[in-house]
Amino acid sequence: MRKIGFQNIGLILGIIIALSLIFLLLSIEITSQPQFCGFCHVMKPYVRSWQTSTHKGVACVECHIPPGITSEFKKKFEALSMVTKYITGTYGTNPWTEIEDSSCLRCHEKRLLQGKEIFKGVLFNHTPHLLELRRGEQLKCTSCHSQIVQGSHISVTTFTCFICHFKNQELGKGTSRCTLCHEIPERVITKAGVNFDHSEVKRLGMDCIHCHKDVVRGEGEVFKERCLTCHNEPKRLEKFNDREFLHRIHVTEHKVECINCHREIEHRVGEIVNRVNTKCEVCHQQGHSLQKELYMGIGGIGVNPQPDFMYLAGTRCEGCHFLPPKEGGETMEASEISCMKCHGYRFKKIFIQWKEGIEKRISEIKKEYEKYKDLIDIEKRDNILHNIHLIEKGKGIHNIRYSTNLLIHSYWILSNELEKKKIKAENPFLKEIPFESRCLNCHLGIEIKDFEGESFSHRVHIIQKGINCESCHPKHNGEPMERKLILGKSGCSNCHHREKRECENCHKDYLKVSFEGKEFDHSLHVKEMELSCNKCHNFEESKGMTLSRSVCSECH
């Protein structure tokens, strides 16, 4: 009997052990299923984000348990502890875990050899970030891939990139160099109706910062109070200033989100309202308000807000004012060199045209105002003076379109007041252009030009006749043109020789000309013989202006 009893005990123990092993194996298998992870309600948001992620085909344990049998048992023990806490109600509502690099590299080891790839338009290379120290720190996969935002499972946390690249770095230098992440675009970008060819950036050696100065916001500071959210032991808090120790523990050995300690650094195109703010304004709140208003396209009377194109593109004051102050001066200077630096040498001419054009218009409106000011209503007079003051003190070159429109509107006020007194004001320099044209975004201040030795008036053709720019000039997007005119001087005949008009208005230097290699003297024919021009020259629809050689034979 005693012998049978021992056999039964052995059998029972064997069955218990076998059942325990089966239970253990089943438990390991069941607890390895993603469905089990979602059993606890605090885990459901994480499971839902996993179900919609790129890792939805990978079981939770493949990432959360590192390779190796010891890791398997260690994690199962941790999981058992979590289940116990859940059943007993002693669990926390913010579960925390760490993913080892070895788990990621089971699938993504080849990623280290793939070189650069594009992420949200940014060049990125995994190899140096994982195999080399980055600013003295050894990063992990989860330094950049984490789950700060609910619903986004183990995705790239760009906040980490910004902390590493921009904290304590001068913009455009060191780890904050634009071309570390961004390639210089080779395409034409349209901003506020103006085309800008970004390939010019490389050709002319432009500095990105002159247009993209405000792309980084925040300093990434760390406040000691944040340590208290996790720690309360004095010995740990004493380590606050030990940067190397803190980063080794929180970044290399463990996974603590940067945002838990650092204030956020943002990297994006800034709000347009702040684009004219400069470092000077940290201390100096006044001094350039008129220039700022003009640049922003505000402050004038009678014209809707019209920001300058450079303002809309994000160019701050330092983008143009980078030349050293004049002797005895304090402020950085700007000149045609500022335009040429980014837009090429041909913009020197445009800058000069703008400057001379706006100065001419200011001179004309002041002259008209002084002539008729006693006939103008006081309120209207103040409006005109306000606009003139804004443009003179704010420097019209800061916003050539807005300044021109303000002066044209001021002249319109003056004209209307004079009409009430039966006086007609006629100043062609201050007339409104009768059509919209992209050409006028750049080409202002070209009222009178020299053309093939003749004085040519754009003002007459555009303002008085309403002839569109494209009638004579080919369209272009800011690039240099091989041909600046669709037609040459002979093409003027299509308009100017259709009706009878005085030839001398255009042909002032006509007396002695070269014709077929010989000098020809018109004075003998026109002054002495008193022949009219159309005696020899005729206009034909198909050929334009022609010479009737048969007339020559009458005398010669």
Q: Residue 508's pLDDT is what?
A: 62
Low-confidence ranges of the chain (pLDDT < 70): 1-7, 28, 31, 111-113, 148-151, 191-194, 270-288, 428-429, 445, 447-448, 450, 452-455, 477-483, 486-491, 493-494, 496-502, 504-511, 539-545
- pLDDT tens for each residue of 27-55: 767 767 777 777 777 788 888 888 888 88
Label residue 403 exposed, middle or buried (CB < 10 Å: 0-12, 13-18, 19+). buried
- Give the DSSP H or E segment for 195: strand 194-197
Instruction: Write down the pLDDT at residue 129.
Output: 87
pLDDT of residue 59: 82
Residue 194: strand pairing partners:
191
For the four alpha carbons of 132, 137, 140 and 141, in that order, the dihedral sign comes to negative
Q: Where in the chain is the domain with CATH 1.10.3820.10?
A: 2-95
pLDDT digits (tens, 9 = 90+) for 437-470: 777 777 776 766 767 666 677 777 877 777 888 7
The pLDDT assigned to 288 comes to 66
CA–CA dist 96, 224 (Å, integer): 22
Q: Yes or no: is domain 2-95 CATH 1.10.3820.10?
A: yes
CA distances from 246 to 237, 256, 438 (A): 11, 11, 57
289 Cβ contact list (under 8 Å, min separation 6): none
